[in-house]
A and B are shown apart, each in its own frame.
Chain A
């Protein structure tokens, strides 16, 4: 059960998460040791998840980061999961503020931002809100609200490079929930990465319609596998089903959100993972030391907001070399994914020759096209 960790034998989820959290905390602790020296003010942090916190996916990535913070002195965490994007989350946030004394909230689902966070922020001007993925705008939104997000499409590009090497049928597949910009960006990055290895690779996309639909996701995986797709990746809340189904069909899979390597060690090539503990620590430090609340935080591999999973044993040396080379360039800010000439899959030119869109370009957060080579429609 959830309470009383000694009750269940042979179940080491909590230990595993604690291990990851400790590791993460250890890694990130170094640069912040100085900050911690004079930041012992006790603080209660409220975490709000839209789904279960151990879904091997999005919610889990936030949970792990929260657990990393929990180990720090003076930090208390209260959390609620499965909070729908309705009035309920406003009440949850208010409850955390009024009843638990939280002064820093992390509502992690995209749909919490407007209007819910904004409403609660209006009524609680002393509380800081850090939203994942929202488009904070200085002109419209209060300073106590901020948003952070990671350029995980960089990791999806690297996924694509590996996929490009590993695919024999030159068909790769992407199972997505909804055609929103964050998802489209991942699809495009994955495809571009694969095409950089073999330019005639095609990527088939299936939209399931919602963030968590296990039967549809399994069905989509099987359909694509029937079509000859042999490397998969995805953007859904809980990638577990897709990873397992693809593995059962004998195909390869690249993970997303968190590492699903343990689920299918013989099929897991590499993965695109969040490293939320980086922005979390910065936000916490600002809160504890009284510095202004960071309003707009974005980062990729270089800033440590995202990371890649270790390569599976089946990934050959040549693939690793190429991916590592690209990664090194990304870490030096010398690699651009979206640059001209870029056509979408209807033939229209989106980015003209010679133009480069840097990762920080806000226009990318409004992406509404699929690049050439993607089979699918928005």
Chain B
């Protein structure tokens, strides 16, 4: 491959590269949300978790000099904030969605407040894996320069799909989500399972946040997240609560987000605002197409208030 790949080939490559670059945080957040929702709880606060853990990851890496410690710190903080969500929702009479929005605000507020000193400095970044080294073309090399977290995410998706279907823990989580009565009859505390699942979901989302601030774009900034946490909720519905489909959806969204700049770089500049809005339009169209009032969303955990 040489520098005279066709114009559309260029765009396609850029979209592929973008899909992985931008899609990695989507992947982790949607896997986390998938786990949470499988247990019957919806967590809209992942946006706040994402932002707070991005800041924590950056701070951790800056203070310790190691990006991986930053990732760990981010995941830990993400789990904490999500645990708060789980605990609040387990109280009687507390609305899932309201709590999610509250945590979104609290997480963002804390992140912006504590992150003020972090806007300027640089922190150690996560390593990149050069999966494109076999090619001579710089475009292919760049497109296949993968975030080290991405393969972890892929393995995680596979693992989660297998575990939910084949292990006892997976069964308990699914029971809590599909039929809380059955879980209770078997002696499991539904609240306990949901709190655990929400916390674990926050842990995963925290890794996604770390990917934003420690790899791409690799900086802490108050505009870092543009609703990715909230989109992840839509992603999970789009993927029908299947972890492997979450992987595909995350790539799709990452690619859609990269389309705008990619087109502009080859000279097609009209309507870039509309291109920026494309991932959201895509999600909405897919939701409209696949939902139906007659039957409940296939695959939706019964206890989740999403299907009517």
Chain A interface residues (CB < 8 Å from chain B): 1-2, 8, 10-11, 13, 51-52, 54-56, 82, 204-209, 212-220, 222-228, 238, 240-241, 244-245, 248-249, 263, 375-378
**Cβ contacts under 8 Å, A215 to chain B:** 22, 212, 216-217, 224, 226, 257
Contact with A along B114-136 (1 / 0, CB 8 A): 10110111100100000000000
Please judge, given known A-B contacts A206-B264, A207-B272, A220-B261, whether A11 and B14 are in contact too, CB under 8 Å: no
* A219 adjacent to B22 (CB under 8 Å): yes
Q: Is the CB of B120 within 8 A of A223?
A: no
13 example contacts (A-B, Cβ-Cβ < 8 A) are as follows: A2-B117, A205-B264, A209-B276, A222-B14, A222-B18, A222-B21, A225-B138, A225-B142, A226-B10, A228-B138, A241-B218, A377-B267, A377-B270
**Given A204-B265, A226-B13: A216 and B260 interface contact (C-beta under 8 Å):** yes
With A and B bound together, what is the CA distance between A376 and B261 in angstroms?
A: 12
Q: Once the chains are docked, how many angstroms separate the CA of A240 from the CA of B58?
A: 15
Chain A minimum-CB-distance residue to B221: A214
B143 and A226 form a contact (CB under 8 A): yes
| A240 and B257 alpha carbons, distance in the complex (Å) | 21
Taking CB atoms, residues of chain A closer than 8 Å to B266 are: 227
Chain B interface bracket (under 10, 10 to 19, 20 to 34, 35 or more): 35 or more
User: Are B219 and A223 in touch, CB under 8 angstroms?
Assistant: no
Given contacts A13-B121, A212-B221, A212-B222, 8 further A-B contacts (CB under 8 A): A1-B116, A55-B119, A55-B221, A56-B119, A204-B267, A207-B272, A215-B216, A222-B14
Cross-chain contact of A223 among B222, B262, B273, B276 (Cβ < 8 A): B262
- Distance A241 CA – B125 CA, assembled complex (angstroms): 13
Among B3, B212, B216, B270, which residue has its beta carbon within 8 angstroms of that of A228? B3
**Cα–Cα, bound, A213→B226 (Å):** 8
Residues of B within 8 A of A52 (CB): 116, 119, 222
Q: How far is the CB of B1 from chain A (nearest CB, A)?
A: 12
A223→B264 contact, CB < 8 A: yes
CA of A34 to CA of B122 in the docked complex: distance in angstroms?
42
A26 to B74, CA, bound (A): 43
**Hey, which chain B residues are within 8 Å of A217, CB to CB?**
217
CA distance A148 to B119 in the complex (A): 27
B258: CB under 8 A from chain A?
yes
Contacts of A54 in B (CB 8 A): 116, 119-120
Rounded to whole angstroms, the CA-CA distance of A240 and B122 in the bound complex is: 9
* B226/A241 in contact, CB under 8 A: no
**Is the beta-carbon distance between A223 and B221 smaller than 8 angstroms?**
no
A8 near B117: Cβ-Cβ < 8 Å? yes
Task: Tell whether, in the assembled complex, residue A13 and residue B120 are in contact, meaning their CB atoms are under 8 Å apart.
Answer: yes
Please indicate the chain A residues that have their CB under 8 angstroms from the CB of B270 in the complex. 377
User: CB of B93 within 8 A of chain A?
Assistant: no
Are A376 and B142 also in contact (CB < 8 A) when A52-B222, A241-B219 are? no
Contacts of A244 in B (CB 8 A): 122, 217-219
Cβ of B187 under 8 Å from chain A: no
B138 cross-chain contacts in A, Cβ below 8 A: 225-226, 228
* Residues A206 and B120 in contact, CB atoms below 8 Å apart: no
Count of chain A to chain B residue pairs whose CB atoms are closer than 8 Å in the complex: 135
Instruction: Give the docked Cα–Cα distance between A72 and B220 (Å).
Output: 33
CB-CB under 8 A from A55, the residues of chain B are 119-120, 221
Is there an interface contact between B224 and A219, defined as CB atoms closer than 8 Å? no
**Closest CB of chain B to A33's CB: distance in Å?**
32
Q: How far is the CB of B121 from the nearest CB of chain A, in Å?
A: 7
In the complex, what distance in Å separates the CA atom of A8 from the CA atom of B63? 10
Q: Are the C-beta atoms of A207 and B221 separated by less than 8 Å?
A: no
- Inter-subunit contact A249/B217 (CB<8 Å): no
CB of B177 within 8 A of chain A? no
Q: B residues within 8 A CB of A376?
A: 264, 267, 269
Query: Could you tell me if B261 and A240 are in contact, using CB atoms closer than 8 angstroms?
Result: no
Decide if B223 is an interface residue (CB 8 Å cutoff). yes
For residue B269, which residues in chain A have a CB less than 8 angstroms away from its CB?
Answer: 205, 207, 376-378
Min distance, Cβ B14 to any Cβ of chain A, angstroms: 5
Least Cβ–Cβ distance between A135 and chain B, in angstroms: 25
Contacts of B121 in A (CB 8 A): 11, 13
CB distance from B154 to the nearest CB of A (A): 21
A residues within 8 A CB of B260? 216, 219
Residue of B116, B219, B258 with most chain A CB atoms under a 10 A cut-off = B219
Q: How far is the CB of A17 from chain B (nearest CB, A)?
A: 9
Which 3 residue pairs of A and B lie closest in terms of their CB atoms, listed nearest first? A218-B217, A223-B265, A377-B269
B139 close to A (CB within 8 Å): yes
- Across the interface, do B221 and A222 meet the contact criterion of CB distance under 8 Å? no
Candidates A11, A216, A223, A226; contact of B117 at CB < 8 Å = A11
| Contact pick for B261, options A2, A216, A228, CB 8 Å | A216
Q: Is B45 an interface residue (CB 8 A)?
A: no
The residue from B114, B117, B222, B261 contacting A219, defined by CB atoms under 8 A apart: B261
Q: Which residues in chain B, 12-45, are within 8 Å of chain A measured between CB atoms?
A: 13-14, 17-18, 21-22
| B125 surroundings in chain A (CB, below 8 A) | 248
For A263, list chain B residues within 8 Å (CB).
122
CA distance A225 to B273 in the complex (A): 22
Given that A2-B116, A222-B14 are known contacts, is A214 also in contact with B265, CB under 8 Å in the complex? Answer: no
Nearest-CB residue, chain A, relative to B15: A223
Contact, CB under 8 Å: B120 / A209: no
B218 close to A218 (CB less than 8 A): yes
CB-CB under 8 A from A209, the residues of chain B are 272-273, 276
Report whether B218 and A222 are in contact in the complex, using a CB–CB cutoff of 8 Å.
Answer: no
Decide if B142 touches A222 in the complex (CB within 8 Å): yes
Residue of B nearest to A245 (CB): B217
Determine how close the nearest CB of chain A comes to the CB of B18; give it in whole angstroms: 6
Complex Cα spacing A88 to B212, Å: 31
In the bound assembly, the distance between CA atoms of A2 and B142 in angstroms comes to: 39
Give every chain A residue within 8 A of B265 (Cβ-Cβ). Answer: 204, 206, 220, 223-224, 226-227
